[in-house]
Structure 1
Amino acid sequence: MKILITGGGGFIGSHLADRLLADGHEVCTVDTYATSRRDNLTPQDRLTIVEGTIADEAFFNGVMDDFGPDAVAHAAASYKDPDAWEEDARTNALGTAIVVRASERLGVKRLLYFQTALCYGVKPEEQPITLGHPLRPYESSYAISKTAGENYIRLSGLDWVSLRLANVYGPRNLSGPLPTFFSRLTQDKACFVTDTRRDFLFVTDLVDVATKALEGTGSGAYHVSSGSDVAIKELFDATTSALGLGEIDVEIRPRAADDAESILLDPSRTNADFDWRTSVALEDGVAQAIAWYREHGIEQTYTHLKEEELRVRS
């Protein structure tokens, strides 16, 4: 197949591109490189790399016309600045509408979307969260705009799958607590963790689902998650172990009153429809991520959260 990946130079998009190329597909990536790295992609046969924004309709239509994809994986997203409402709306909402219209016009067979679990809000009413939980993306511009994008996809006549994600981690990831722990520990800076639990998913386990979705499995919304949660302290301990630092005493701070003790997604529909389970243990996944950070370095990390929210929600 010919598959176009928006955000193809980013964390998830580049891992998906690697898998699709290895499977023999032809891939075109589109990325602005605002929060991604150019060395995430290796130029090769069957890979077309294009730089630009999906929010530019004329540009994106031209890329789609030139490449003529059979399927589109929409991983591009703005999340660099939590106060950049206009850019979030431009990329995540308007950009998605442009991707949808171009896909409809060209008769794309399948559109795959990557959605945030923050579509349910930070205080979900149930644990684990089921697909029937109300959508309440009110706490951040990122969640609001990403959910608007998913709604444009629902409004379309396309055959689509939306993957609502747990906390995805692994090599090339530059957001969330793991790269922050690595950066601070390797600079001899103090760290702390909060008494919260989160559902962590290694990136290749996500790619297993994404490739099946692009090939025609499933329809509608799915949770991609491990189905279990771990304490942030466990993630910190796995990080220090991978760094060869052993066990380190770290301050554990209480969560804020408006933060959930746990955010855990129910993956049962995904398990059944995709015949899928996670395969990478947290310790192994963290070790792989740390090895990549050591080799490539981290110049900057990114978050959709405001500074005062980082300690409880990252």
Structure 2
Amino acid sequence: MSKRILVTGGAGFLGSHLCERLLADGHEVLCVDNFFTGTKRNVAHLMGNSHFEVMRHDVTFPLYVEVDQIYNLACPASPVHYQHDPVQTLKTSVHGAINMLGLAKRVGATILQASTSEVYGDPEEHPQTESYWGKVNPIGIRSCYDEGKRCAETLFFDYHRQHGVDIKVVRIFNTYGPRMHPDDGRVVSNFIVQALRGEDITLYGDGMQTRSFCFVSDLIEGLVAMMNSPAGITGPINLGNPIELTMVQLAQEVIRLTGSRSQLKHMPLPQDDPKQRRPAISLASTQLNWAPRVDVEQGLAQTISYFKQLFAKDV
């Protein structure tokens, strides 16, 4: 059955792919974005669809619309962007959650929170399970994002317990793919952009810290599966690819796939940068029947192709 669905942060990397998927499923989609990190280019190909609407709006202010489902994705997600204005980042997570939960309460909508693996901080448990409470610095340079997302989770579960709001919470691990911002400071886009430009590839620390990379199409499948799961499934549920790579391995794979002559350049490790990150996804497997399907080589090849096309347009 067709629904009217609100996607906050809908012109961003993940949001634009989600809007595309929801339209393909026959729904009406309201894309809300303040275009701080999102861009109209990401959703330009959807503008001609009569079931798609774009609204410039900042979720730190209330929104009054009629919808059946809300995907709350609004928040800068890369360190470069969320540290640019840390107070606004925190407001987006906290005030944005309050406003979207208030909307869900008023109209009886199901609401999904795009939380993050950063709620686990620099983890002492590996891989990270949903029952792990995390190890987070509350006053560091990354805290505006990490603690903002943790507070948003608290709000979601309090609105659920106190007001009966139908909530879904997912913790998203590193995701990559076409429409990533070339200057967002995330490791996959950084490495690809540097390799394509023939620049040194920047590694922080010894490059032995690990991440797990999920291709965007797999992540979107997980979001949709979570939203449409039975009411008793609230989460939090990890969504990510459990295959773990060191930063050196990722850099070498990018160099191989681009045919670049880039060299590796080591820089000091940023404050509070997690040493390892890998999701335990047994809950997603059992409750959502979800698992990632796209391997890193396939995903990187598609992402590299996107950046090549993007740079060709800019020439």
Q: Scaled by the length of structure 1, what TM-score is found?
A: 0.85
Q: Is 1:158 the equivalent of 2:159?
A: no
CA-CA distance at 1:91 after TM superposition = 1.1
Say if 1:192 and 1:88 are closer, same or farther in 2 by CA, change over 3 A.
closer
CA distance 1:183–1:298, shift in 2 (3 Å): farther
Aligned 1:1-314 pairs, distance under 5 A: 1-41=3-43, 42-43=46-47, 44-57=49-62, 60-61=63-64, 64=65, 68-79=66-77, 80-82=81-83, 84-108=85-109, 110-122=110-122, 124-137=123-136, 138=138, 139=140, 140=142, 141-156=144-159, 157-174=164-181, 175=184, 176-193=186-203, 194-217=207-230, 218-245=233-260, 249-251=263-265, 259-297=273-311
By how many angstroms is 1:83 displaced?
Answer: 5.4
Equivalent residue pairs, number: 289
Question: How many Å apart are 1:179 and its aligned residue?
Answer: 1.3
CA contact (8 A) 2:201 2:263 kept: no
Q: Unmatched 5+ residue regions in structure 2?
A: none
Contact kept in structure 1, 2:229 and 2:288, CA below 8 Å: no
1:165 maps to a residue whose letter is I
Counterpart residue type for residue 188 of structure 1? G
Which amino acid counterpart does residue 144 of structure 1 have in structure 2?
A: E
For residue 198 of structure 1, what is the amino acid of its counterpart?
Answer: R
Determine the C-alpha separation between the residues in 2 that align with 1:77 and 1:201. 19
1:251-309 CA-to-partner distances (Å, cap 9, x unmatched) read 4678679654421111110111111111000011011111111112499xxxxxxxxxx
User: Take 2:272 and 2:216, find their aligned partners in 1: how far apart are those partners?
Assistant: 29
Aligned to 1:312: none
Q: Which 5+ residue runs of structure 1 have no aligned equivalent?
A: 300-314
Q: Which one-letter code corresponds to 2:121 in the other structure?
A: G
Higher relative contact order (CA 8 A, sep 6+): 1
Conserved 8 A contact 2:176-2:213: yes
Read off the aligned partner of 2:215 and give its amino acid letter: F
- Tell me the amino acid that sits aligned with residue 32 of structure 2: V
Contact preservation (8 Å) 2:31, 2:54:
yes
TM-score (norm 2): 0.85
**Cα separation, partners in 2 of 1:32 and 1:260, compared to 1, 3 Å:** closer
What is the one-letter code of the residue matched to 2:289? D
Give distance in 2, aligned partners of 1:82 and 1:47.
Answer: 32
Amino acid at match of 1:214: M
Match of 1:309 in 2: none
Alpha-carbon distance in structure 2 between the residues aligned to 1:260 and 1:253 = 15
Specify the SS of the correspondent of 1:171.
coil
C-alpha distance in 1 between matches for 2:272 and 2:236: 27
Task: Give the whole-Å Cα distance in 2 for the aligned partners of 1:18 and 1:93.
Answer: 27
- Which amino acid in structure 1 is aligned with residue 199 of structure 2? K
Aligned-pair identity (%) = 25
Change over 3 Å in CA distance of 1:245–1:73 after alignment to 2 = same
Per-residue CA distance 1:135-189 (angstroms, 9 max, x = gap): 4443421111121112111111211111101111111122311111122223332
* AA partner of residue 93 (structure 1): V
